[in-house]
Structure 1
């Protein structure tokens, strides 16, 4: 498994993958410096940089997340949430065909190994609240604001 580190506005991002695809993308607060980007991860680094620069709204990467079949179904459904849009855990459960699976869907969402690329940050509570996020609610809020089609203007 190859590793690359990318400094982002939200912390240091560790990308892991190989010729079979990207296995994980994780954000950390601590400084994880590395200038080496293995060839197999260069496209992922480039696409994430474009995302943070506001130049990319979708990703075209080979993904290889490890999880249960159910988790993979949830992660596939997450990838259908358009950039700049949100959905609720309840709606996601309905999309997957079982409204009673809301807790399992939320748990699978929390186990998402591919930060940003599988956009679990786009899932909110039914009442519009920013509910749990493994990367921290401050990051979820930043990501949703970054993707919002309505940008807040500064008065000064």
Structure 2
């Protein structure tokens, strides 16, 4: 396989891995937050999850690149990786999530509760999601992210 073909294949696998990881991991947490913390109706939850899935297809790979870039600041210690993974997730996903809630019909109170709730959830899930993302990437035959700034995770031939 030529290096150009391999690079193209790796980009598609990176897109698929990052997108799949985001959809799988955050659909369940979104449902729990929207229904039981934000107090949205099941119809609003369905609308939010459908909109969220569409946005996750568009934002999965950009988030993966964002996380890789942010993680270059982390040190080798576990606490550093936890903090930087949490920062990456909160800084990228909370604004998108707030927009999903607003578009899905959440009133201002539900928008505030949902956004605060998801911030807490994402602070707690930043590192577990980062580890899950790396696991999915490995399953797709890709290296873990976060080692090189804005890495496309393209392996050398």
TM-score by length of structure 1 reads 0.30
Structure with the larger helix share: 2
Structure with the larger strand share: 1
